[in-house]
Amino acid sequence: MSKHEFHPDLAARLQHFTGAEASDLLGAPFGPPETWDLKIEDREIEGPGGPLRLRIYRPVSDASDRPCLVWLHGGAWVGGDLDMPEAHETSRGVGGRADAVVVSVEYRLCNENVHFPVPVDDVVTAYRWVREHAAELGVDAARVALGGASAGGNLAAGASLRLRDEGETPWQALLLYPLVHAPLPEPSAELAAALAKLPAGLSVPDHLMAQVFAIYLDGAPVETASPYAFPGHAEDLRGFPPTYLDNDEFDQLRSSGERFAEQLRTADVEVEQVTSPGVLHGHLNLVGLDVAHATLDRMAARLRQEGIQ
């Protein structure tokens, strides 16, 4: 696949894209879902605003020291759920590949009454619950990673920063096409060339991006936002957990992920940075696509890797 070419399976669909079919374009499977032999349990724990639902994915064989990923779906802070592919298929795929426990979190979504820091509070609560219940879950409490995609990547990064400041730095962070700056950094010339190939209707206009920020921050200016809301604005990222950062090639948010990787390296944080080729924002939702499978392989490899600390 040469530079700035859409994945062939995506390209075939984009030929017929009219600007009003994004959900159909990206929602239809590209292949069958994977099969993994896992125990899946829904559980409610006490959260800062009432019951907080978790979905726990565990290998069927007994073990007491597995790695764990606390996982957060995307949805612009206002949408998404535990059943969407980015939550369910990712959790199954990573858990099965890595022989790991994955805990998917149903954090509270933003609306007219819910704003930052509510979702971050939920994520921190879920992470701490997993650490406290490590023995019950068959998890090594020293190997609990925190990860998420898109807005979930934002929450994973923000919660990781807060946990660092409170002396509980996660084992590692797995950030998939995250939004960690507001407004977005200017794209590089290379990214601008890729974005120029996006069909009309597949990029987010500035005014809609501003609306999303306003909902998350309850109308507060992004310039005054806490670094726990937008970790790319943190003055000091030293001590942030070792990070896997995966961006999509044809994605406006790639400018944020790439800039964050630079900031982490400047702060002497270990970073593995990948650009998933040929795909649009949110490729973990593309069930059956080989690029999504490759990302799950890399995520699982991070969880299996010895020596990350």
Rg (CA), the chain: 18
Helix (H, G, I), strand (E, B) or coil at 135: helix
Distance between CA atoms of residues 180 and 255, nearest Å? 10
CA distance 183 to 123: 23
Q: Phi, psi at residue 41, to the nearest 5°? A: -135, 130
Of 150, 160, 256, 276, the active-site residue reads 150
280-306 burial: b if 16+ Cβ within 10 Å, else e? bbbbbbbbbbebbeebbebbbebbeee
SS3 content of the chain, % helix, strand, coil (to 5): 35, 20, 40
Q: Which of 121, 122, 246, 251 is catalytic?
A: 251
Active site (annotated) includes residue 9 = no
Cα–Cα distance for residue pair 133/156, rounded to 1 Å: 20
Active site residue 7: no
Is 2 a known active-site residue? no
Q: List strand residue ranges (DSSP E) for the chain, in order.
A: 38-47, 50-59, 66-72, 101-106, 139-149, 173-176, 243-250, 271-280
Beta bridge partners of 272: 244
Provide the annotated active-site residues: 150, 251, 281
